[in-house]
Amino acid sequence: MPAPDRPGGGRGPARGGRGPARDGRGPARDGRAPARERLRRADPARTVAYDVLRQVSEHDAYANLVLPGALRRAGLEGRDAAFATELTYGTLRQQGLYDAVLARVVDRPLDRLDAATRDALRLGVHQLLGMRVPDHAAVAATVALVRQSVGTGASGLVNAVLRRVAERDLDGWLAEVVDDADPDTALATRLSHPRWVVRALRQALVAHGRAGEETPDLLAADNEPAAVSLLARPGLLDPADLVAGGAAPGRWSPWAVTLPAGDPGRLPQVRTAHARVQDEGSQLVALALAAVPLDPPADGPERWLDLCAGPGGKSSLLSALAHRDGHAGVSVEVSPHRAELVRQAVAGADERWEVRTGDGRTLGEEEPAAYDRVLVDAPCTGLGALRRRPEARWRRTTADLAALAPLQRELLASGLAAARPGGVVAYVTCSPHLAETRLVVEDVVRRSARAGVEADVLDAGAALAAGAGAEVPDARAGDFVQLWPHVHGTDGMFLALLRRR
């Protein structure tokens, strides 16, 4: 995949073909106020984007959770919804680069600006440098937004700053902001990631057998909008039905389809929980666990366990497979709210699938050697899924790695203890970080053996191929699997498979 080294170089909505209100030059075809005058008022798409940005920065909201509701409430659909989405996600992803530009123009440190004004400035810069919105429309519409939301004083500042930004194009600003920076800082600024993340991802690439030179491609993939993948739950829905409705078949998972556009929440199959939005990488790792050959248990159906299951994506797939094939299972989730989401996710396949609110760390002790297949999809930094969570890269810190390390180890050790001899455990993260993947597995295998719970590392690549129905090229990292956004077009899922002796 080529590495576009600029925002908006990819698939963001273009200006061309939009209605007259987009660029402020069109005639008033519909009896409304002239376009130029309309730009004096904030338009709905920009208002939605700005409101979501405010919720993200003021209330630590997640843009991907807040935006769909905001679009629906504003009645935005089609191209307008796509425009609002690109405004929101692009602004959040490129925040590091845009702040570097703004720092050259604003007459005080950015953190001394009122947060509402700073969010508006970032939104304006994205239109100027990351989208093909004409300068005058980007400035006028953003100023209108600020006048309406913050006040006249702030709108003067925003007007002056955005006009200065508009004096150069993106290449001009890129040259300026990375001018005398060291290579890592330059890469971090150019592709808008924190510097520690750039280093961690390069280290992860190398640790999983790839070249450090791929780092710019990986960072660029984080800046591209991810396709909307759906899971058609096995036994409940044939993916061909979704394809007949206009979706494209998935690239890797036999149960995946890709939606061209639109709100998946409106699909009847999603409403009935027969289909679910789920990245193909997530589907593949769950399918791999289900595909590991196993001696059948002597005393009845297989028992499956999803040890940290919220919000239920992989439980929805595992429960459907288990239901189809006559197995039984349990999902455990510590957060009551997320456990409720898991209950909804397993609906339709829940006859012999129980959902519990509880602490997965103690389950291995409470039910030792009780399960045939165990999924430990551990809480992690999510560094492999940055393209879907546009603000996550700015929230995560190295302190999170240290904080998550004990929890990841305790959950895996508990999952291993809950597996019966001959049973199999999948350790999964949506982060390729070495400290959350290989180091956790190696550490827990060693420590568990000392406690009398021995396990062998299985060939996860073979299981992935069995689950997908074909080899997934470039997925193997020794005995482990590491998927990559820039290689596979999936989230960066890690998978290790362990068989208990």
Strand partners, 232: 275
Structure tokens at 167: 């004096």
| CA–CA gap between residue 346 and residue 300 (Å, rounded) | 22
161 vs 285 by CB, closer to ligand SAM: 285
H or E segment to which residue 442 belongs: helix 438-450
**Interacting span for ligand SAM (CB under 6 A) from 163-171, 253-261, 356-364, 419-427:** 356-364
CB of 93 to ligand SAM, least distance (A): 21
Q: Where are the alpha helices (DSSP H) in 259-302?
A: 268-271, 280-291
Phi-psi label, residue 297: left if phi above 0, alpha if psi -120 to 50, beta otherwise: beta
CB of 453 to ligand SAM, least distance (A): 18
**Per this entry, what is the length of the chain?**
501
269 vs 319 by CB, closer to ligand SAM: 319
Q: Does position 308 bind ligand SAM by CB under 6 A?
A: yes
83 vs 304 by CB, closer to ligand SAM: 304
C-alpha count within 13 angstroms, C-beta hemisphere, residue 276: 26
Site string for ligand SAM, 133-172 (x = CB under 6 A): ----------------------------------------
Q: Is 314 annotated as a binding residue?
A: yes
Catalytic residue (one of 137, 430, 441, 453)? 430
Q: Does position 66 bind ligand SAM by CB under 6 A?
A: no
Structure tokens at 98: 């845009």
Phi/psi at 302 (5° precision): -65, 150
198 vs 383 by CB, closer to ligand SAM: 383
Q: Does position 310 bind ligand SAM by CB under 6 A?
A: yes
380 is an active site residue: no
Q: Residue 427, SS3?
A: strand
Using CB under 6 A, which residues numbered 396 to 415 contact ligand SAM? 407
Beta-strand relationship, 371-377 and 419-429: parallel
Q: Does position 432 bind ligand SAM by CB under 6 A?
A: no
H or E segment to which residue 197 belongs: helix 195-207
CB of 418 to ligand SAM, least distance (A): 12
Q: Does position 312 bind ligand SAM by CB under 6 A?
A: yes
Start-to-end CA span in the chain (Å):
42
Q: Say if CB 11 and CB 224 are below 8 A apart.
A: yes
Q: Does position 416 bind ligand SAM by CB under 6 A?
A: no
Binding-site members for S-adenosyl-L-methionine are: 308-314, 333, 359, 377
Site residues, ligand SAM (CB under 6 A): 282, 308-314, 332-335, 338, 359-361, 377, 379, 407
> Looking at the annotation, which residues are catalytic?
430
Binding-site members are: 308-314, 333, 359, 377
